[in-house]
Amino acid sequence: MKGVAEDRSEAEFGDLKPAYSRTQALVEANRCLYCFDPPCVRACPTSIDIPQFIRRIAEDNVEGAARSIFEKNILGMSCARVCPVEVLCVGKCVFNEAEVVPIEIGRLQRFATDRAYEEEWRFFEAGEDTGLKVALIGGGPASLAAAHELRRLGHAVDLFEKSNRLGGLNRSGIAPYKMKSGRAEEEVEWVLSVGGIGLRLETSIPEDISWTEIEKRYDAVFLGMGLGPDTILPIEGRNLKGVYGAVALIERIKLGSADLDGVRTAIVLGGGNTAIDMARELRGLGVEEVIMAYRGRREVMSGYAHEWSRAVKEGVIAQWSCQPLEILGSDGRVEAVRFQRLDAQKSPIPGEEFTLSANLVAFALGQQKLGNLVAGLDGIEVVGGRIVVGQSGATGRPGFFAGGDCANGGKEVVNAVAEGKAAALAIHEYLESRSD
């Protein structure tokens, strides 16, 4: 696993949905009805032709199946592992209506795409040189998908990434029982193998190169810089040792050591998927008591129900309808959190406060938006921190397109891939229209 420390904390995790053997894949593929106008395809943001690739697996044509997947989604290997299939393709499979176990589309996709990696099948090459250049800001799934498509169309591309590695949150954020960071790095190599993707690592835009300079050097720009650091509530005690932002702590678990020595009780603040991931990862690393504290009731949490029920099975405890007032500590280290109880409308219930002990507190209240990076670029509208885009990712500034978390506010990898690819096609159209 290139570039990833072998002794990192994430190595302790197993595989949530282990790989199929050939026989298992054949049996599962043969259950599919190959529906006409299939709801599973409509539920896939990248429109993978699911019955087609499953039929190919059933016919033992794994190479054809992999081609069919990658044609639509060049990050199909990671999406097979990280997609919330329960609310996308699998959740929409017709078998659900008949109360029959739905087809395990993600695991079949993993079977075909893993095989493509093992066999080093290569399906795509760069198109004939157009002499036009596109800058892509950010090296996460959105920009990777856009860069691959633009190369196939023959445009020169340069990827600007502020960190020293590509992959974005797909490398540093995904729960380790779904996918490990080394796998995300292999995927980056897979995307780069189309050839000719210029890399500018450790380069932050516009800090290191101004927008004026970027506009001078490139014919079009794709903005795929994702979201910013964790949102931390401005409450007393937030700077104590043992208090973290969840995305930052997950990155430590994935790429280094979480150093949880002496941590017996952890409180995760939030009720979204990052909060659930954080809680499960802490439990998985041996923290005895993990409490997820959320402002609302269970019914209104934004985290997926299937993820929460897994967390409960793994021993995560919930505190619903409460908000932190203060983090208490001694000798500079966190010791407890004082909470306010809230009613069903999330308003404080007077006099109802309580304190829970903890050696670790993680804020999982969302990430800051990075819309301010494009401040000063006339025509680009930013609402609520998100870059406003129209059809296919076009912003209000000619030649500037955006996609992924920075434009959609934070969704899934598959959305970032779909938006990156759609923007690449729109950039191609824009460049062609200019050269007419």
Binding site for ligand SF4 (CB under 6 A): 32-35, 38-40, 50-51, 93-95, 103, 105
Q: 50 or 407, CB closer to ligand SF4?
A: 50
226 binds, among ligand SF4, ligand FAD, none (CB under 5 to 8 A by kind): ligand FAD
CB of residue 299 to ligand FAD, shortest distance in Å: 22
CB of residue 343 to ligand FAD, shortest distance in Å: 30
- Residues in contact with 61: Cβ distance below 8 Å, sequence separation at least 6, in sequence order: none
Backbone phi, then psi, for 103, in 5-degree steps?
Answer: -65, 135
Q: 43 or 285, CB closer to ligand SF4?
A: 43
Interacting residues with ligand FAD between 342 and 371 (CB under 6 A) = 370
169 binds, among ligand SF4, ligand FAD, none (CB under 5 to 8 A by kind): ligand FAD
Q: 106 or 138, CB closer to ligand SF4?
A: 106
Q: Which helix (H) or strand (E) holds 193?
A: none
- Token pair 């002990």 is found at 357
Which part of the chain contacts ligand FAD (CB under 6 A), choosing from 8-16, 65-73, 165-173, 259-267? Answer: 165-173
404 binds, among ligand FAD, ligand SF4, none (CB under 5 to 8 A by kind): ligand FAD
SS3 161: strand
Instruction: Please report the DSSP string for 66-131 in residue order.
Output: HHHHHHH-TTHHHHHHHS-TTTTHHHH-GGGTTTSPPP-HHHHHHHHHHHHHHHT----------S
User: Of the candidates 277, 281, 289, 335, which one interacts with ligand FAD according to CB under 6 A?
Assistant: 277
**Terminal-to-terminal C-alpha distance of the chain:** 46
Query: Please, where are the H alpha helices in 181-237?
Result: 181-192, 211-217
Q: How far apart are CA 244 and CA 248, in angstroms?
A: 7
Q: 20 or 160, CB closer to ligand FAD?
A: 160
Would you count residue 141 as binding ligand FAD (CB under 6 A)? yes
CB of residue 253 to ligand FAD, shortest distance in Å: 10
**Taking the CA of residue 87 as centre, how many other CA atoms within 13 Å lie in the half-sphere pointing to its CB?**
12
Interacting residues with ligand FAD between 408 and 427 (CB under 6 A) = 411-414, 416
Is there a contact between 335 and 358 (Cβ–Cβ < 8 Å)?
yes
324 binds, among ligand FAD, ligand SF4, none (CB under 5 to 8 A by kind): none
Closest by CA to 312, choosing from 336, 335, 280, 334, is: 280
- Token pair 């950010």 is found at 138
CB of residue 89 to ligand SF4, shortest distance in Å: 7
Is there a contact between 202 and 164 (Cβ–Cβ < 8 Å)?
yes
CB of residue 407 to ligand FAD, shortest distance in Å: 8
Could you tell me how far CA 199 lies from the centroid of its own chain? 21
CB of residue 358 to ligand SF4, shortest distance in Å: 44
Q: Six-digit token pair at 209? A: 């190169």
Burial of 426 (0-12, 13-18, 19+ CB in 10 A): buried
Is there a contact between 369 and 406 (Cβ–Cβ < 8 Å)?
yes
Would you count residue 138 as binding ligand FAD (CB under 6 A)? yes
Would you count residue 270 as binding ligand FAD (CB under 6 A)? no
Q: 62 or 377, CB closer to ligand FAD?
A: 377
40 binds, among ligand SF4, ligand FAD, none (CB under 5 to 8 A by kind): ligand SF4
Site residues, ligand FAD (CB under 6 A): 82-83, 137-143, 160-163, 168-170, 173-175, 178, 204-205, 224-227, 247, 250, 274, 277, 370, 373, 404-405, 411-414, 416
